Chain A
Amino acid sequence: MLERIFTGSGFWNPLIWLIAFVVSILIVLILRSLGRPGFKREGDKTKPFLCGNIKDIETISPRSENLYWGFRESLKGYYKVMERFHSGDIRDYIFWFIFVIVLLFLMEVL
Chain B
Amino acid sequence: MIQHLPALIIALPLLTAFLMPLIGRISPTFRKLFAFIMIFLVAIIGILLVHEVHSKGIILYTFGAPQPGETTPSSLKIPVRIIFEIDGLGAFMVIVSIILAFTAMFYALPYFKEERGLDRFYALLFLLLAGILGMELTGDMFNFFVFLEIASISASALIAFCIDRSETLEAGIKYLAISSIGALFFLLSVGLLYGEYDALNMAMLAKSISNTFIDKMALILILGALLMKAGIAPMHMWLPDAYAEASPPVTLCVIAATQASMYGLLRMIFTIFHPSIDIAFLPALIIALSLITIGIGATMTLIQNRLTRAIAFAGVAEMGYILLGVGTAMYAGIKGYGEVALEGAIFHVLNDAIDMGLLFLVAGSVYLATRELDMNNLGGLARRMRFTAITFLIALLASSGMPPMNGFASKLLIYESTYALNPILSIIAILASILMLAIFVRIFYSVFLGPELPNLRDARDPPVLMLIPMLILSILIIFLGIFPSYAIDKLVDPAVRSLIDAKGYVSAVIGGG
Which A residues contact B (CB, under 8 angstroms)? 1-5, 7-10, 12, 14-15, 17-18, 21, 56-58, 61, 63-65, 67-68, 71-72, 75, 78-79, 82-83, 85-86, 88, 90, 92-94, 96-97, 99-101, 104-105, 107-108
Contacts and interface: CB of A to CB of B under 8 A. Distances in A.
B393 to A, nearest CB: 16
The 8 A-B residue pairs whose C-beta atoms are closest, nearest first, are A64-B446, A64-B375, A101-B224, A7-B416, A14-B404, A3-B485, A9-B416, A58-B451
Contact of A5 (B238, B438, B450, B485): B485
B178 A94 contact: yes
A100 B238 contact: no
B340 interface: yes
Interface stretch (B79-87, B102-110, B298-306): B298-306
B285 A104 contact: yes
Given A97-B224, A100-B289, 9 more contacts: A10-B416, A15-B483, A18-B404, A64-B445, A67-B442, A68-B442, A75-B299, A79-B303, A97-B228
A93 B302 contact: no
Given A12-B409, A92-B237, A7 B220 contact: no
Nearest to B240: A86
20 contacts: A1-B485, A5-B413, A7-B417, A8-B337, A10-B416, A56-B454, A58-B453, A63-B376, A64-B305, A72-B303, A90-B173, A90-B174, A90-B177, A93-B177, A94-B178, A96-B235, A96-B237, A100-B227, A101-B221, A105-B220
B482 interface: yes
B182 interface: yes
Task: Decide if the interface of chain B is mainly helix, strand, loop or mixed.
Answer: helix
Interface string B285-315: 1000100000010011011010000000000
Given A101-B185, A108-B220, A93 B237 contact: yes
B376 A64 contact: yes
Contacts of A18: 404, 482
A63 B416 contact: no
A65 B450 CA distance: 14
B412 interface: yes
A53 to B, nearest CB: 17
B45 to A, nearest CB: 26
Contacts of A21: 404
Nearest to B406: A14
Nearest to B279: A108
Contacts of B450: 58, 61
Contacts of A105: 217, 220
Contacts of B28: none
A68 B302 contact: yes
A3 B488 CA distance: 11
Nearest to B480: A14
B481 interface: yes
Nearest to A78: B299
Contacts of B237: 86, 88, 92-93, 96
B155 to A, nearest CB: 16
Contacts of B303: 72, 79, 83
A8 B451 contact: no
